[in-house]
Structure 1
Amino acid sequence: MTQTLTIFALGLSLNASAAGSFVVKDIRVEGLQRVEPGTVFSYLPVQVGETFTDEKGTEAIKALYGTGFFRDVQIQAQGNILIVIVEERSTISRIEFTGMKEFDPEMVRKSLKAVGVAEARFYDKALIDKAEQELKRSYVGKGMYAAEIVATVTPLERNQVAVYFNVDEGPIAKIQEINFIGNEEFSESNLRSEMQLRTGGWLSWYSKDNLYSKQKLTADLESIRSYYLNRGYLEFVIESTQVSITPNKKGIYLTISIREGKKFTVKDVRLAGETLGKEAELKQLITLKAGDTFSSARLTESTKAIAEVLGSYGYAFATINPQPDIRRDVAEVDLTLVVDPGRRIYVRQVAISGNAKTRDIVIRREMRQFESSWFDSDKIELSKKRLGRLGYFTETDITTEDVPGSPDQVDVNVKVTEKPTGAITLGAGFSSTEKLILSVGVNQDNAFGTGTSIGLNFSIGKINQNLALSNYDPYFTEDGISRFTDLFYRSSKPLYYVGDPDYQIKSVGSNIKFGVPYTEVDRVFFGTGIEAFQIQTTSNTPVPYLAYAQSYGVAAPGYPGTVNTYNVPIAIGWARDGRDSTLIPSSGSLEQLSAEAGTPAGNMTFYRLFGQYQKYHSFSKDNIFSFNGEVGYGQAYGNNPSPITKNYYVGGIGSVRGYSPGSLGPQYYNTTINEYQPTGGQSKIVGNVEYTFPVPGSGADKTLRLFTFVDGGNAFGQNINLVLRYSYGLGLSWISPLGPLKFSYGIPYKSQPTDNIQRLQFQVGTAF
């Protein structure tokens, strides 16, 4: 192209010479449509009143071509008038896609811009052809070999064009066979089980695991390599991979050729390099021992553990380089882990991003890695866990970045992805006993981005009415003392008792509680409050409640009256929360103990003890095993009985699934409706075991999970006989925009005829 322009310019120069040099009286530009005349004049080496020569003509043509605005330039002389004739290059007015379903058109536009095809840029057929090929390759990468892309260019006004990419995606090629060559120690079925790609199954319509993808194949080959390396095959090699497609481009045949090699045993493992005098400590972290079958995973685990320990001492970029000494004749390998701690690294600054709503201080006060101190990987991990336990973010990522010119400094970048923490709920429901139930709630877990929680909840029904206002400030003081306060009003008719419209229990009160942290995961609580209960009794009041009311002043059974009781409780407690997240816990544990006692300042004298233990363990690609255990015990002291309003209730999601909420434990036979109804118990025992796993085809999505469970528990009266109810079943958990939802189908085991069974249940709430 450059040679052609040069020859053309020389030709014009000769014509100008034949015309002779002249003084330019005027300059005229012809052919402009979008380019301003001033742009052309600025590139001309001659102006009105100056002498035009052959050299200046050649220079003018080169300069105008160099702008890239024109595809043809001519210079002519008409007397003393210089005429510049140009033909502008067309510009792309718009880019459209028809028939494209697999890709987002906006994302494709961005990728095409990288190859020079974009709106407002000059049209170049060679670039359009290149764009076609790039799109074709993208479809091939998705396994859509039959895809056809044809670009059509339509001229528009003012020297513009519209580019249309007409796409016929065709079918996605499905995998027909996956074959292995060279495998002797492991069967093809074992190796296929390590792959994401499949030949199809009954869930393939959802998981799409039978649709070929180059990216998935690459990941599968790595999984197969890891499978062999973790079982001692140190010299395993994938020699070739063949992808064959049927003539109709609808079927894929995969052939993977491998060489297994020998199975190696570890003869010796030793440390070398600079261990900073901590060789004994670092050796304890090596899980691969002499006599073990070689395992790449255990070797990686050991090197990672050593690097993390060195990182906790400030050596953020420590490297541990395994050097194998292979003896093929005896199938043994000696491993030398060469330790290079590098420089001790200090943190220059902690930068926070992604928090459009949450204030920086809310995030910084959870950070345990401080600026101007040495880098500590343990503190980085602890900071990430603390941020996860806030429940404000769906993702938290903490990375480091080198400081230019300062090899011993890094910046710590904290990037969070916020989730909605506020909710306005309007609800309506209907039941055979309560009829219409209305509820309204306004809750904000991160009010105004300050980290404080406020809530106002109101519900009304025929049996229960509730109004509660609450506030939780996790940093009531700068050193992390928390404060919880609430005001409440409740009115209820226990036992779904509908035989007496005047009978009810009312309560109003307020509580305040403080939490004092004394380690990163431990906190002690103490608080007090005041509660006033009013029990209105009539001749139809249920016997257990009437007996309780009599102890506070009702003269005789069945005699109508109003009983007022007051409670001024004190509460103390301890909690250790080592979970990695409160929203979706997958590791760690939660332990808590609490005690509540009614003081002589009121006329309800009692005490209640409660303990809970939760444990989470993650394994095998986001599968989680979890356990929850709860024990509660209550008793009265003094002359009055244990308050029935403080009873424990067991049954339903959160305790023993498969049974109606609160239905287990002591019961009262209601002769009015001819049913056994629960009264709760002074003590309880609950145990839950869950196995949680991803929904097939959902990938790494942690917000939608399936689980199986086994539950056991019961509530007891004054005499604890430890006769428990059990259930098992399965369920679905979903972190929805309304909050954590749990659906379960429980099958009761060893139930009794008087038990109230409810197999299908759901709840908006926490993990257990």
Structure 2
Amino acid sequence: MKRLLLTAVLSALMIAEVHAESFTISDIRVNGLQRVSAGSVFGALPLNVGDTADDGRLVDSTRALFKTGFFQDIQLGRDGNVLVINVVERPSIASIEIEGNKAISSDDLLKGLRQSGLSEGEIFQRATLEGVRNELQRQYVAQGRYSATVDTEVVTEPRNRVALKIKINEGTVAAIQHINIVGNTVFPEQDLKDLFELKTTNWLSFFKNDDKYAREKLSGDLERLRSYYLDRGYINMDIASTQVSITPDKKHVYITVNINEGAKYNVRDVKLTGDLKVPEEQIKALMLVQKGQVFSRKVMTDTSELITRRLGNEGYTFANVNGVPQPHDDDHTVDITFVVDPGKRAYVDRINFRGNTKTDDQVLRREMRQMEGGWASTYLIDQSKTRLERLGYFKEVNVETPPVPGTDDQVDVNYTVEEQPSGSITASVGFAQSAGLILGGSISQNNFLGSGNKVGIGLTRSEYQTRYNFSFVNPYYTPDGVSLGYNAFYRKTDYDELDVDVASYAVDSLGAGLNFGYPISETSRLNFGLTVQRDEINTGTYTVGEIYDFIDREGDSFTNFKASVGWSDSTLNRGTLPTRGHAQSLTLETTTPGSDLSFYKIDYRGQIFAPLTDTYTLRFHTELGYGDGYGSTDGLPFYENYYAGGFNSVRGFKDSTLGPRGTPATNDPDQDDVAFGGNVLITGGAEVLFPMPFIKDQKSLRTSLFWDVGNTFDSKCQYRTNSAGDHPVNNRDCGSIDLSNMAASVGLGVTWITALGPLSFSLAMPVKKPDDAETQIFQFSLGQTF
């Protein structure tokens, strides 16, 4: 209003100066320009040479020039028939200095100032600065900082410039002293307060910061309160008023919420109307709302969503299903009518991928269950998204289905992915407590060069093992998903060098294998494999009698042909660090005729992820194994034994040290017993997965509280003497499967997917320790997959 009044006064003075006498403009002269170009003035001026200047047009010209915002004073004069315009430019902003801000970063403040027209080099307008100051004050109030102050200072500098100084005193966030709910008679006040994200100050507030008032949080809490009543039949519940009071020192906040509960309503009748497009029986099977139930807005909304998704599976992507409640106040009942508007069936024009900077498009496209040109099925689009997540190549996968411009029955399907490490080129560089330093130049990639193929090649060396290996798996050897893999390896393992009390021996193994995988459903596969392997055995310092006995009977070198058949099923939502779904596999491996030894092994692995909340998940897992000899081979060869303890087994116990133990065949009577594994493996456990505090990106990080249990057993071992017969060897905890001898531990575990490979560590406390079991409270590993 002040600016309009000033403009009117100035206009009147200018018109008076021009003597309000009309004249034909022969020329226009502008005086006082410094930074603003003459072209900018002439572009804004509604008068040109040759025009007739009168009172009205001069007023319009003055207003037009003021609207540019370039000038703080304008005077129009006349020199003969020349229109003279004298201007005084507004100063430009030379610098902006912000002090005292912490809750809002300087970059965010400068960005907001820039969007408001205040930045270095721009024309300075005091009204804009005052508006920005008020807006900053409102932002701090919205954060609960009622004592915050924002002061501005304009410092004049040479050449018609100014320096802006914004001094901020953020104060402290007002803590919530009391929350009061008035008008509730059905539900206890404490139950209603528990719905609120805002809390009164308590001993956890320092960490959770939940006692700081914020307007947005209060709005969310009120909506939760309203939904709580609406989901329990109180259809007329109303929040009458909300009062937020601040103490005089502006350090504490009192919140009062006044509510009217109304009466409780039940469902009288449920109806369907509209063009259903699918059989009515199928729609009714999806209806969660039933006659006689207490009315619940959530149940009504969930029913609408289920019907919408069912129509979406048939291509009606733009279907609209609304549940319309009709209350009857006389008997406190409500009729619910679901109005179905399917719209037109939509078809997919293009499927596009974004964000796959390393992975080829064809790797993503072959996982698609929704095809281009087909109708847009919500189920198939979501199933395609899930298959991309299960690959393990991506941290996150999102999908959008925007309409194709200019059409009303076509959509594009856009998948946006975020790449993550799917292996590690330096995976052979690491450290494990049981194996020591791991050095090598191996490559382990589940998505080799973005092709989707799994490749492993290289040399790995640790204190007890040297390994050369090459492996290759093409998961799409045929277009319908038949996989082909082959591998070759050489391993030299010397358990004498392993820093745990395990029976020592050395094995040199050379082999090669071939395997096929065949999909039998969307989530299940059959796997077939054949491997030829040559093993040579050497005894060590702490070799137990079981090993000597086996070598005496069978020899110390073997060539075996192993055939395997397996079944696997997985509905996990992600290939790495999943949070829901299940996975299980069952494998039978046996030697074939022509092998030096006859034995078989049956292995089962399973895990289930059950979400508890949006951020907490319960995981159950187990691994079971059984092996035995047949034909001329008495029992499972000792070097094929199962071992328990350590990562992916029973944490809190040293690697491979659980299970039957025996006295090494040495001349040292004081030698401790050592573990030698067994032909039976039973392990399992439960974990609660939870987000790590203060970490924003949780998709590459897993934190869990776990309970592990398990052991190995030998169902056939017995009292024996060593081959030399010079003294007996005592084998213990074997000959039977005794579940009361299971080891158990509880603890905290963390796994982080890094560029070097997975980094894992656990802090575990054994709660049940078998005799002579070796504990290890802290365990960690880098560069090995778990």
Interval containing the TM-score (normalised by the shorter chain): 0.7 to 0.9
1:675 aligns to what SS in structure 2?
A: coil
* Structure 1 residues 381 and 548: alpha-carbon distance in aligned structure 2, compared to 1, 3 A threshold: same
The CA deviation at 1:510 is 3.7
Contact 1:731–1:742 (CA<8 Å) still a contact in 2? no
The CA deviation at 1:129 is 0.9
Q: Which residue of 1 aligns with 2:746?
A: 729
The CA deviation at 1:53 is 7.6
Alignment partners' CA distance in 2, 1:22 and 1:625: 85
* Structure 1 residues 378 and 42: alpha-carbon distance in aligned structure 2, compared to 1, 3 A threshold: closer
Q: Which residue of 2 aligns with 1:248?
A: 249
* Structure 1 residues 90 and 486: alpha-carbon distance in aligned structure 2, compared to 1, 3 A threshold: farther
1:356 aligns to what SS in structure 2?
A: coil
Q: Which residue of 1 aligns with 2:539?
A: 537
Q: Which residue of 1 aligns with 2:281?
A: 280
* Structure 1 residues 353 and 106: alpha-carbon distance in aligned structure 2, compared to 1, 3 A threshold: farther
Q: Which residue of 2 aligns with 1:13?
A: 18
After superposition, where does 1:159-558 map in structure 2 within 5 Å? Answer: 159-421=160-422, 423=424, 424=426, 429=431, 438=439, 442-455=443-456, 459-494=460-495, 504-537=506-539, 541-553=543-555
The CA deviation at 1:195 is 1.8
Whether 1:753 aligns to 2:771 is yes
Contact 1:726–1:750 (CA<8 Å) still a contact in 2? yes
Return 697-706 or 439-448, whichever deviates more.
697-706
The amino acid across from 2:320 in the alignment is T
Alignment partners' CA distance in 2, 1:307 and 1:426: 50
The amino acid across from 2:775 in the alignment is I
Alignment partners' CA distance in 2, 1:501 and 1:609: 23
The CA deviation at 1:274 is 2.5
Give the one of 3, 7, 10 matched to 2:8.
3
Return 586-595 or 471-480, whichever deviates more.
471-480
Q: Which residue of 1 aligns with 2:708?
A: 711
* Structure 1 residues 217 and 443: alpha-carbon distance in aligned structure 2, compared to 1, 3 A threshold: farther
The CA deviation at 1:586 is 2.8
The CA deviation at 1:764 is 6.2
Contact 1:206–1:697 (CA<8 Å) still a contact in 2? no
Q: Which residue of 2 aligns with 1:665?
A: 659
Alignment partners' CA distance in 2, 1:73 and 1:231: 67
Query: Cα deviation per residue 1:547-566 (whole Å; 9 max; x = unaligned)?
Result: 3333443xxxxxxxxx4333
The CA deviation at 1:230 is 2.5
The CA deviation at 1:386 is 1.0
The amino acid across from 1:737 in the alignment is T
Whether 1:596 aligns to 2:589 is yes
Structure showing greater relative contact order (alpha-carbon pairs closer than 8 Å, 6 or more residues apart): 2
The CA deviation at 1:187 is 1.6
Query: Cα deviation per residue 1:259-308 (whole Å; 9 max; x = unaligned)?
Result: 22223333333323322352111111122323333333222222221211
Alignment partners' CA distance in 1, 2:518 and 2:311: 32
- For structure 1, list consecutive stretches of 5 or more residues without a partner in the other structure: 554-562
Query: Cα deviation per residue 1:224-250 (whole Å; 9 max; x = unaligned)?
Result: 222222333222222222211111111
The amino acid across from 1:690 in the alignment is E
Return 251-260 or 361-370, whichever deviates more.
361-370
After superposition, where does 1:141-156 map in structure 2 within 5 Å? Answer: 141-156=142-157
The amino acid across from 1:13 in the alignment is V
* Structure 1 residues 500 and 308: alpha-carbon distance in aligned structure 2, compared to 1, 3 A threshold: closer
Contact 2:283–2:307 (CA<8 Å) still a contact in 1? yes
* Structure 1 residues 348 and 51: alpha-carbon distance in aligned structure 2, compared to 1, 3 A threshold: closer
Query: Cα deviation per residue 1:86-106 (whole Å; 9 max; x = unaligned)?
Result: 433333344442221112332
* Structure 1 residues 376 and 158: alpha-carbon distance in aligned structure 2, compared to 1, 3 A threshold: farther
Alignment partners' CA distance in 2, 1:202 and 1:515: 56
The CA deviation at 1:435 is 6.7
Whether 1:649 aligns to 2:621 is no
Alignment partners' CA distance in 2, 1:342 and 1:638: 69
Tell me how many residue pairs correspond in the alignment: 752
After superposition, where does 1:568-647 map in structure 2 within 5 Å? Answer: 568-600=561-593, 602-640=595-633, 642-647=636-641
- For structure 2, list consecutive stretches of 5 or more residues without a partner in the other structure: 717-734
Contact 2:432–2:780 (CA<8 Å) still a contact in 1? no
TM-score, normalised relative to structure 1? 0.87
* Structure 1 residues 22 and 365: alpha-carbon distance in aligned structure 2, compared to 1, 3 A threshold: closer
The alignment's C-alpha RMSD in Å is 3.7
1:215 aligns to what SS in structure 2?
A: helix
The CA deviation at 1:331 is 3.4
Whether 1:72 aligns to 2:90 is no
1:758 aligns to what SS in structure 2?
A: coil
The CA deviation at 1:591 is 2.2
Alignment partners' CA distance in 2, 1:456 and 1:148: 64
Query: Cα deviation per residue 1:141-179 (whole Å; 9 max; x = unaligned)?
Result: 211111111223334555443433221111111111111
Alignment partners' CA distance in 1, 2:190 and 2:623: 44
The amino acid across from 1:460 in the alignment is R
Contact 1:710–1:726 (CA<8 Å) still a contact in 2? no
Return 443-452 or 223-232, whichever deviates more.
443-452
1:305 aligns to what SS in structure 2?
A: helix
Return 196-205 or 169-178, whichever deviates more.
196-205
Contact 2:496–2:504 (CA<8 Å) still a contact in 1? no
The CA deviation at 1:128 is 1.0
Contact 2:494–2:504 (CA<8 Å) still a contact in 1? no
Alignment partners' CA distance in 1, 2:34 and 2:428: 61
Contact 2:503–2:542 (CA<8 Å) still a contact in 1? no
Give the one of 640, 664, 676 matched to 1:679.
676
- Percent identity over the alignment is 36
Query: Cα deviation per residue 1:344-375 (whole Å; 9 max; x = unaligned)?
Result: 22222223323333333332222222222111
* Structure 1 residues 177 and 609: alpha-carbon distance in aligned structure 2, compared to 1, 3 A threshold: same
The amino acid across from 1:505 in the alignment is V
Contact 1:502–1:536 (CA<8 Å) still a contact in 2? no
Query: Cα deviation per residue 1:297-352 (whole Å; 9 max; x = unaligned)?
Result: 22222222121111111112222222223334443333232222222222222233
Alignment partners' CA distance in 2, 1:469 and 1:100: 58
